[in-house]
Amino acid sequence: MTGYDVNGSVVEHDEEGYLTDIGQWTKDVADIIAKAENIDMTDEHWVVVNFLRDYYDEYQIAPAVRILVKEMTKKYGKEKGDQKALYALFPYGPAKQACKIAGLPKPTGCI
Amino acid sequence: MSDEQQKKKFFYLNRKAPYGTIYALESLEVVLIGAAFEQDVSLAFVDDGVFQLMDNQDAAGTGMKGFSKIYRALGDYEVRKLYVEKESLETRGLSVEDLMPITYEDEDEDYAEKPSIILVDKSELAKIIADQDVVMSF
């Protein structure tokens, strides 16, 4: 088992880079995971990451991309809830990559 | 899926208590994965399966992570028909009020929240099952 180096301490992740213990997530951890994914976190990235964390908190699952797009549209309007815009922020898949940065498990229903 | 004709009726029958075995959680995972294929999905809860929908579940002490909140996300996945068998509730001294409120948003009516739980008796449920294309039992 390997981990992210966060200010000298190790935060464990699985073979795909998802945190082993969601409780270890902090904003610093998010920045470090993002760096490993070659993503520069902007406010727009944070909107998605925070949305996913809220969704997980409420429903105990990480939503599939389709659901993420639908719910983001409902909450923030068409501009943010746009699949293309989300892929521009997270090129390897908004649900997959943003969930990883949010410290959540791999999305259920993600094929 | 463009052709409406190709839509199949998928039915998931849940008969076991939520904790102690993996059936309930596995069923839920299959439902969520299957929901990506935009089929006509419905779930039914009979026997101890009705306990899966109990309100205010506390999984501490079961040795399993609580997952009851996931049922409330089903509406987002367009899973809107959760049949609960009346006789199973009654045998266990339960009523619909003991179950958690689960709703979906109806996009045809300005996203009005509507209940997903449908109470049916044994004979109604038998007819519903007879009408399905695919039935999976957990």
Q: Which of A32, A47, A64, A110 is catalytic?
A: A110
**A110 in catalytic set:** yes
Helix (H, G, I), strand (E, B) or coil at B105: strand
Distance from CA of A8 to the nearest CA of B (A): 31
Distance (Å, whole) CA B11 – CA B120 = 15
CB A59 within 8 A of CB A67: no
Check which CATH number belongs to the domain holding B95 and give it: 3.40.1260.10
Return mean pLDDT, chain A: 88
Q: How confident is the model at residue A105 (pLDDT cuts 50, 70, 90)?
A: confident
Check which CATH number belongs to the domain holding A69 and give it: 1.10.10.370
Does the beta-carbon distance from B69 to A59 stay under 8 Å? Answer: yes
Does the beta-carbon distance from B73 to A70 stay under 8 Å? Answer: no
Residue B111 in domain: yes
Does the beta-carbon distance from A108 to B33 stay under 8 Å? Answer: yes
pLDDT single digits (tens) B29-50: 999 888 878 889 999 999 999 9
Distance (Å, whole) CA A60 – CA B24 = 15
pLDDT single digits (tens) A15-37: 889 999 889 999 999 999 999 99
Domain with B21 in it: 8-137
User: CB-CB: which of A61, A70, A71 is closest to B70?
Assistant: A61
Residue B2 in domain: no
Q: In the numeric block, which tokens belong to residue B38?
A: 């935009």
Candidates B70, B76, B111, B116, partner chain A, best to mutate (most A CBs within 10 A): B76
Residue A107 in domain: no
Distance (Å, whole) CA A31 – CA A28 = 5
Does the beta-carbon distance from B70 to A58 stay under 8 Å? Answer: no
Residue B1 in domain: no
Residue B3 in domain: no
Total number of domains in chain A? 1
Domain with A23 in it: 9-101
Per-residue confidence in pLDDT tens, chain B, 138 aa? 555 567 899 999 999 999 999 999 999 999 988 887 888 999 999 999 999 999 999 998 888 888 999 999 999 999 999 999 999 999 999 999 999 999 999 988 888 999 999 999 999 999 999 999 999 999
pLDDT of residue A1: 57
Candidates A21, A61, A69, A75, partner chain B, best to mutate (most B CBs within 10 A): A61
Total number of domains in chain B? 1
Residue A2 in domain: no
Does the beta-carbon distance from B76 to A109 stay under 8 Å? Answer: no
- Give ipTM to 2 decimals: 0.80
